[in-house]
Structures are given as structure tokens and as C-alpha cells.
């Protein structure tokens, strides 16, 4: 039987944080946490209780029989302080958690480990016994060593998406990072992408395909439009050139003959999994109106786009990032990514 979901072993000396990592990973990925400890107890895969070590003497054959069907279906996160007993063909990734000995000493003392057991586990961690066992039993490409001394390191180890946001606009990049991180890590390549003429969708679709071909990998791109309702949506995707040539005042003058100053800020993100993968679009729209410039002129047309009494430029960054066209589009993107993660 071939599995469609991976099996992952989270291993390491007792006290390194296997169970916390497994629970976090299970929650974030939808894979199931298979606690070998629980199986040993509930299915009696042991030859009794060792008084000196205060632990079950595991019958490995019984244990493998007990979990075989479940593991062969895939999607298991195996939580156990040994890894060499599982057949190579069952396993796709082996994570060995590591801690410094002083941290391990404190954790095991707190668990009231008997002195002998505590000392043996400390030695085992110092001698990298589990890491060696993992490297001896599995191909080196699937063995990963992660540090697990504190909450920050645990957080570093969490599963997450990374996107490569292709943009030459530092302000955009700043906003995208502020909104997506730390849930999604944002990398950046500043490439100058040719932009075609067309509808908002067409511009982003083409930009996204082009970017994926250029970097030969997964990419995120974005195109921003500013659409004046009185002008039936213009300048739209051509706002950049209007901004450059006319400036804030010129853009206001465009609407001088019209009563209707309303405008839509439209942000369209395109994500492609790589060359040949059709981009997926995420669009966000914020309604506002065009006003004479107020606030710092640092980012494009922020100073002339008013939303509920304030221009984007007058708002705190965090405030803009709650209601902006970009934030709305990114909320859709995040929802899609979190579904992907658990699919």
C-alpha cells in the first residue's frame, strides 16, 4: 500500500520536548499524533514494569504489530525516544530534538526521575546517542536535528509556509511582512517584472507566471490598482505611471470635473507553486475617496486616498494594515494557505 501522507518520527532523549512538538505539529498539519507510550500501555506491548528505571519494558515486536496498520496508512507523527525499531520503509522524516544538558537535568529532576535513569539520559543526550541512532537507521537526507531548549526555539521549529514575494517595492514588502509574519515567512527577490496591459486579473496572472519562470520556483506577486469610479475604473493598473507623471495634485485634477471622488484600492496577489502551475489569485478591495494630499508622502498615493475620514498616509501602519486592500487580499491568502496545510 502506498501512503499519500508522510510519517514523521519525533525522537530524542526523554525530556527534550517530543510530546509538545508532536501536539503542535498535529494541530497545525492535521496529521495524527501517535504516542508510543500510550500504545505500549493501552495495548500492553510490554513485558512488565521495571522498578529501578520506573518504566515499562517494551516488547518491540508487539508494539510494531500494534501500530503497523495505522502507520502504513500514513499521516502519523510518531512520538518515541527510540527510532531504530521502525522499518525504514515506514518513515519519511526523522526529527531529533536536542537540548543542553543543564536544561535536560532540570526537566528530568522536575519529573522526579530516579538518579540512575536521570544520569543515563543525560549521558545519552551528551553523547548524541539518539542522533547517531537516527543517522545509522535512516538515509541522511531525512534526518533533521532541531534545538528544543526554550519556547523561542519551539516556535522556530513550528511548521510554516514560506513565500518568495517578488516585488521591487520596499513599502509593499514591509506591509506584506507586517501582515503575514510570523505565520507565513516572507522572503523577497526584487525583480523588475514586465507588466502587460489588461484587466486586473490578467495583469497579475501574467506577472505571476513570468515570475515563476524567472525564479524557477514558487512565487508570490502582487499588483495594486487605484480605480476612480467617475473614470470607470481608470487609472486602474496604470496608476503607477499616472502617479509618476501627474503626482498627487495631478491625480486630484483628473477628477476636478466630477462630483464623484470615490475610488477603489484594489490589491491582487497571485501565488504560483512554480513554472507551469496555474496561479491562484487573492483580491482585496477597499473603498475610499480621492482628496488633496494629507500625511507623509512616503508610499505611492497613500496621502490622497481617504478611508473613513483619514488618508492611508495619516494612519498608523498597523491601522492601515487592518483595513487596507492589501490586508483583505492577504486574509484570503492566509485562509487558503492554512487549508492547504491541513488538506
How many positions of this chain bind ligand Y43 (CB under 6 A)? 17
Q: What angle do CA 305, 306, 309 make, to 5 degrees?
A: 170
Dist. CA 235–CA 243, nearest whole Å: 9
Q: How far is the CB of 141 from ligand Y43 (least distance, A)?
A: 35
Dist. CA 201–CA 223, nearest whole Å: 9
Q: Which of 301, 327, 328, 337 binds ligand Y43 (CB under 6 A)?
A: 301
Question: Cα-Cα-Cα-Cα dihedral of 164, 169, 173, 175, to 10°?
Answer: -150
Dist. CA 78–CA 87, nearest whole Å: 13
- Contact 303/294 with Cβ under 8 angstroms? yes
Question: Cα-Cα-Cα-Cα dihedral of 180, 186, 192, 196, to 10°?
Answer: -40
Q: How far is the CB of 199 from ligand Y43 (least distance, A)?
A: 14
Q: How far is the CB of 260 from ligand Y43 (least distance, A)?
A: 21
Dist. CA 236–CA 203, nearest whole Å: 11
User: Segment 218-247, which members bind ligand Y43 (CB under 6 A)?
Assistant: 222-224, 239-240, 243
Q: Which of 125, 133, 206, 302 binds ligand Y43 (CB under 6 A)?
A: 302
320 annotated as belonging to a binding site for a ligand: yes
Q: Which three cell numbers stand for residue 252?
A: 486630484
- Contact 113/121 with Cβ under 8 angstroms? yes
Q: Does 300 bind ligand Y43 (CB under 6 A)?
A: yes
Q: How far is the CB of 124 from ligand Y43 (least distance, A)?
A: 51
81 annotated as belonging to a binding site for a ligand: no
Q: Which of 159, 168, 198, 250 binds ligand Y43 (CB under 6 A)?
A: 168
15 annotated as belonging to a binding site for a ligand: yes
Q: Which of 299, 307, 315, 327 binds ligand Y43 (CB under 6 A)?
A: 299
Q: Which is nearer to ligand Y43, 29 or 169 (by Cβ)?
A: 169
301 annotated as belonging to a binding site for a ligand: yes
170 annotated as belonging to a binding site for a ligand: yes
The count of C-alpha atoms lying within 13 angstroms of the C-alpha of 332, restricted to the half-sphere facing its C-beta, is 16
Site string for ligand Y43, 114-133 (x = CB under 6 A): --------------------
Q: Does 264 bind ligand Y43 (CB under 6 A)?
A: no
303 annotated as belonging to a binding site for a ligand: no
Q: Which of 167, 272, 286, 311 binds ligand Y43 (CB under 6 A)?
A: 167
Phi, then psi, of 154 in degrees rounded to 5:
-60, -40
172 annotated as belonging to a binding site for a ligand: yes
Q: Does 270 bind ligand Y43 (CB under 6 A)?
A: no
The region of 1-9, 121-129, 294-302, 332-340 touching ligand Y43 under the rule CB under 6 A is 294-302
Could you say which DSSP state residue 108 is in?
A: H
Provide the pairing of β-strand 219-228 with 184-189.
unpaired
Q: How far is the CB of 161 from ligand Y43 (least distance, A)?
A: 20
Dist. CA 233–CA 99, nearest whole Å: 58
Phi, then psi, of 140 in degrees rounded to 5:
-65, -25
270 annotated as belonging to a binding site for a ligand: no
18 annotated as belonging to a binding site for a ligand: yes
Q: Which is nearer to ligand Y43, 30 or 168 (by Cβ)?
A: 168
* Residue whose cell numbers read 531525512: 142
- Contact 98/131 with Cβ under 8 angstroms? yes
Q: Which is nearer to ligand Y43, 87 or 296 (by Cβ)?
A: 296
> Which residues in this chain contact ligand Y43 in the complex, by CB under 6 A?
167-169, 172, 195, 222-224, 239-240, 243, 299-302, 312, 326
Amino acid at each position: 500500500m502506498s501512503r499519500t501522507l508522510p510519517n514523521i518520527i519525533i525522537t530524542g532523549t526523554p525530556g527534550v520536548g517530543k510530546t509538545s512538538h508532536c501536539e503542535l505539529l498535529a494541530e497545525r498539519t492535521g496529521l495524527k499524533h501517535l504516542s508510543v507510550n500510550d500504545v505500549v500501555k493501552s495495548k500492553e506491548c510490554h513485558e512488565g514494569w521495571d522498578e529501578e528505571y520506573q518504566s515499562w519494558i517494551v516488547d518491540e515486536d508487539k508494539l510494531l504489530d500494534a501500530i503497523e496498520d495505522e502507520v502504513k496508512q500514513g499521516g502519523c507523527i510518531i512520538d518515541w525516544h527510540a527510532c531504530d525499531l521502525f522499518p525504514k520503509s515506514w518513515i519519511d522524516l526523522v526529527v531529533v530534538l536536542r537540548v543542553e544538558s543543564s536544561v535536560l537535568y532540570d526537566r528530568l529532576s522536575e519529573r522526579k526521575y530516579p538518579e540512575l535513569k536521570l544520569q543515563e539520559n543525560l549521558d545519552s543526550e551528551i553523547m548524541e546517542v539518539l542522533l547517531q541512532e537516527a543517522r545509522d537507521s535512516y538515509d541522511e537526507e531525512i534526518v533533521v536535528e532541531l534545538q528544543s531548549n526554550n519556547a523561542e526555539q519551539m516556535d522556530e521549529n513550528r511548521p510554516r509556509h514560506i513565500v518568495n514575494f517578488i516585488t521591487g517595492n520596499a513599502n509593499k514588502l514591509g506591509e506584506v511582512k507586517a501582515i503575514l509574519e510570523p505565520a507565513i515567512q516572507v522572503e523577497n527577490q526584487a525583480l523588475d517584472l514586465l507588466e502587460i496591459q489588461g484587466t486586473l486579473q490578467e495583469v497579475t496572472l501574467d506577472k505571476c507566471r513570468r515570475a515563476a519562470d524567472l525564479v524557477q520556483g514558487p512565487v508570490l506577486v502582487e499588483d495594486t490598482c487605484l480605480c476612480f469610479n467617475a473614470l470607470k475604473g481608470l487609472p486602474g493598473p496604470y496608476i503607477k505611471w499616472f502617479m509618476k507623471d501627474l503626482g498627487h495634485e495631478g491625480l486630484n485634477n483628473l477628477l476636478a470635473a466630477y462630483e464623484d471622488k470615490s475610488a477603489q484600492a484594489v490589491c491582487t496577489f497571485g501565488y504560483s507553486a512554480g513554472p507551469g502551475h496555474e496561479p491562484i489569485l487573492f483580491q482585496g478591495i477597499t473603498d475610499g475617496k480621492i482628496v488633496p494630499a494629507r500625511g507623509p508622502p512616503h508610499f505611492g498615493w497613500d496621502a490622497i486616498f481617504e478611508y473613513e475620514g483619514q488618508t492611508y498616509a495619516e494612519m498608523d501602519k498597523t491601522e492601515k494594515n487592518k483595513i487596507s486592500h492589501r490586508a483583505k487580499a492577504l486574509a484570503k491568502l492566509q485562509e487558503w494557505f492554512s487549508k492547504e496545510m491541513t488538506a
